[in-house]
Amino acid sequence: MTPFGQKLRDLRAERGGTLKQMAAALQVSSAYLSALEHGHRGRPTDGLIHQICGYFGLIWDDAEALKRLAETSHPRVVIDTAGLPPEATRLAHLLARRIADLDRDRLVALIAQIERDEPVQPE
C-alpha cells in the first residue's frame, strides 16, 4: 500500500463510504480504485486527485497534502545514483534488496532519521 492509498482508505473509513460508492462518484472502476489504494497502480492523474478532493470536500492544506502524497506514492521507485559517490549506489541496491524485510518500526525510524538529515549510524 502506498501513503496515498492509505490516506484514501482512511478518508473513506472516516466518512463511512464504500469503495464501490466512491468509484461510481468518480466515474472509475472499483477495481482501479482498489488497485490505487493497494499500490498496484501508478500515481493518479492531477484530474483524479482534484476529483477525489471534491468528493471528500478537501480544500487548501488538506488538498495540497493529498496531492503531495500522490506525488510520492508511485509504487515503483527509480533511484538515479549517476554522479554520486559509490556509497549512494550501494545504499540504493541494499535498500532495494532489503526493504521487504524491514518492519514498520524500522522503516519509520529510518524515514525520521533521513528527514532530520542526521547521519545514519552503522549497525
- Secondary structure, 3-state, the chain: CCHHHHHHHHHHHHHCCCHHHHHHHHCCCHHHHHHHHHCCCCCCCHHHHHHHHHHHCCCHHHHHHHHHHHHCCCCCCCCCCCCCCHHHHHHHHHHHHHHHHCCHHHHHHHHHHHHCCCCCCCC
Place of cell 480504485: 33
pLDDT digits (tens, 9 = 90+) for 11-67: 999 988 899 999 999 999 999 999 988 888 888 899 999 999 999 999 899 999 999
Can you tell me the mean pLDDT for 79-91?
91
Q: The whole model's pTM is what?
A: 0.66
pLDDT at 116 over 90: no
C-alpha of 78 from chain center: 14
pLDDT of residue 119: 56
Q: Domain locations in the chain?
A: 3-71, 78-123
Q: State which fold the 3-71 domain adopts.
A: 434 Repressor (Amino-terminal Domain) (1.10.260)
